[in-house]
Structure 1
Amino acid sequence: MSELPRKGQTLPDVEFITESGESLRSKEISGRSVLYFYPKDDTPGCTKEACAFRDRMSDYEAAGIEVYGVSLDSPESHRAFREKHGLNFPLLTDPEGRASEALGVLNPEKGRARRVTFLLGEGGEIAKTYPEVSPETHADEILSDAASL
C-alpha cells in the first residue's frame, strides 16, 4: 500500500470517472476542495458521512469549497446512492482502485477504499489529510479546519 500524501504535497496525477462516465483527472480538481474516499455506497457509515456533507453543503459553498466523494463503486451505483439520499455534490468512481492505491487509501484485503479525506488548498496542494474519520462529525471538522486556511 502506498503512503498517504502529506500536507503541502500535490495529489498524484490520477484519473477518476464521473457519474456520466467521463474522465476527471486529479489535476482538474482545483481550488479549495474536499476529496473524501469512502468504502461503499449506501452502507450505514458511508450514508451518514455523505448526508452530513449534503446537510452542510450551503456552508461549503459559502466557503468556496467543492466536495467530491470517491469510492470504487460504479457510476450507476453512485447515481442511485445520490438520488436515494438527495446528495448535492459529485461522486467519483475509481473503478480499478488505481487512484485509491496511488493515494494510499486502498484496503487491498477488502477491495475497497478506506475512509480517508484530503482537504485541498487554493493551488490544489494538500492542506490536511484525515486518516481517521468519524462519519457523523467529519463534515463539521473539515469546515472548521478550512476556515483557518
Structure 2
Amino acid sequence: MTLQPGSPAPDFTLSDQDGEKVTLSSLRGRPVILYFYPAAMTPGCTTQACDFRDSMPALQSAGYTLLGISRDTPEKLRAFRDRDGLTFDLLSDPDHAVHEAYGAWGEKMNYGKRVEGVIRSTFVLDGDGVIQHALYNVRATGHVARLRTLLQPA
C-alpha cells in the first residue's frame, strides 16, 4: 500500500530523540516533511541526514518542519543527532507501525536478495495534513537536492 498526493497523512504519536512525544496533527498549520530511513549512523542514512541538516535554513525559511523517522531507539537517535549536529527531530518507530501506515515498510531488494524492511521514503504534507508529494524508494545521495528542486515555486 502506498499513499498518493491528495490523501490525508496518517496521524501518529512517536517519541523523539529526547523521549518527548511528537504528534503529527499538532503540527497542523505548517507544512511538514517526513522522511523514513533504515538506521541511524549508517553511511547512507548519515549522508541523507546531513544533506537535510545542510538544507534546513532554506526549508525553514519556506516554513517546513522536518522529521526523520526510523526504528532506532530514542537513545540511538540522540547519539546520531549529537554526533552529526542534526538540527531537526528524529522520531522512534520501533514496531514500524507508522512506517507501515505510510507504505514505507515492505518487501525490497537488498544486495540482490528480497527482504522485508524500511523503504527509504519522503512525504511532503501541506498545512492541513494532506500529502502533496509521496516519494518512495529514494536514494540517500542526491535526494535532498531533488526534493528542494521539487519544492521550488513554479
Whether the TM-score (by the shorter chain) exceeds 0.5 is yes
Instruction: Say whether residues 1:21 and 2:19 are aligned partners.
Output: yes
Query: What is the SS of the residue equivalent to 2:122?
Result: strand
* Alpha-carbon spacing, 1:41–1:112, altered in 2? closer, same or farther (3 Å): farther
| Aligned match of 2:99 | 100
Residues 119 and 137 of structure 2 are in contact (CA less than 8 Å); yes or no, is this contact kept in structure 1? no
CA contact (8 A) 2:35 2:121 kept: yes
Cα-to-partner distance string for 1:15-44 (whole Å, 9 max, x where unaligned): 221122232223223321110000000001
Q: What TM-score does the superposition give when structure 2 sets the normalisation length?
A: 0.87
Q: d(CA) in 2 for partners of 1:47 and 1:122?
A: 28
* Gaps in structure 1 of 5+ consecutive residues: none
Taking the aligned partners of 1:4 and 1:56, their CA distance within structure 2 comes to 27
Query: Over residues 63-117 of structure 1, what are the superposed CA-to-partner deviations in whole Å (9 max), with x where a residue is unaligned?
Result: 1111110000000000000111111110011121111111111137866422011
Residues 1:75 and 2:74 are matched in the alignment: yes
Is contact 2:12–2:24 with CA below 8 Å preserved after alignment?
Answer: yes
Instruction: Give the paired residue count.
Output: 147
Alignment of 1:1-149 (within 5 A): 3-30=1-28, 31-107=30-106, 112-148=117-153
Shift of 1:7: 0.2
Cα distance between partner residues in 2 of 1:112 and 1:17: 20
The answer to which structure has the higher strand fraction is 2
Q: Which amino acid aligns with 1:82?
A: R
- TM-score, normalised with respect to structure 1: 0.90
- Deviation of 1:122 after TM superposition, in Å, equals 2.3
Secondary structure of 2:3's aligned partner: coil
Q: Percent of pairs identical after alignment?
A: 34
| Aligned amino acid, residue 128 of structure 1 | H
Question: 4+ runs of 1 displaced by more than 6 Å?
Answer: none
The structure-2 alpha-carbon separation of the partners of 1:111 and 1:26, relative to structure 1 and needing over 3 Å to count, comes to farther
Alpha-carbon distance in 1 for matches of 2:115, 2:21 = 25
Is the contact made by 1:40 and 1:112 (CA closer than 8 Å) also made in structure 2? no
Q: Is the 8 A contact 1:14 1:98 kept in 2?
A: no
Where does the alignment leave 5 or more consecutive residues of structure 2 unmatched? 108-113
Larger Rg: 2
Query: Using the alignment, how far apart are the partners of 1:74 and 1:145 within structure 2?
Result: 31
